[in-house]
Amino acid sequence: MMRAIPLMFLAWPAAAQDVVFDAFATESCLATDAPAESCVGLAADACMRATEGGDTTVGMGTCLAGEVAYWDDRLNAAYDALRVRTRVIDAESADYGHAGPSQSEALQAMQRAWIPFRDAACAYERSKWGGGSGQGPAGAACLLRQTARQALALEQDLSERQTQ
């Protein structure tokens, strides 16, 4: 569902090819008791600090795009698993004659509504840079935060459903 990441955030010039993203810092943080939101951006930050050119506008964009892709993969996995789970719940509800709203359809509508919200929030963030070179990294950082928050929310929902 989320697979349409705005290309302006991921299409960085060839100079960024030497910048290598590794999700280790974020994954290590997530493996601890730290609040999950505090782990967002750690791998991109590590990439920017540890890689020659990581502190340039292009390098920052490449590092941020790497972590956006990491969170987007998590978001899609959680969303796909929730779709399966909510379809099962909808079928069970129908078998029992419950006439409540479809959870699967509501999940899909929520995710479809979230995408334009994400895009508008990040367009606003970019607008704060007035066309300057910081607008690319600022927009990518926004996309990272928004995608990670949505991934974590979907993962939490999935986790809660699995314990029921």
Phi, psi of 55, deg, nearest 5: -95, 5
CATH 1.20.1270.180 fits 7-162, yes or no: yes
Mean pLDDT confidence for 6-26: 64
pLDDT in tens, 104-158: 999 999 999 999 999 999 999 999 999 888 999 999 999 999 999 999 999 999 9
Say whether 3 sits in a helix, a strand or coil.
coil
**Burial of 19 per CB tally in 10 Å (0-12, 13-18, 19+):** buried
pTM: 0.86
The domain ranges of the chain are: 7-162
Residue 103 tokens, joined: 């959870």
What is the pLDDT of the chain when averaged over all its residues? 89
Residue whose C-alpha is closest to residue 38's, from 50, 47, 30, 46? 30
Residue 10 tokens, joined: 């991921």
pLDDT in tens, 92-101: 988 888 878 9
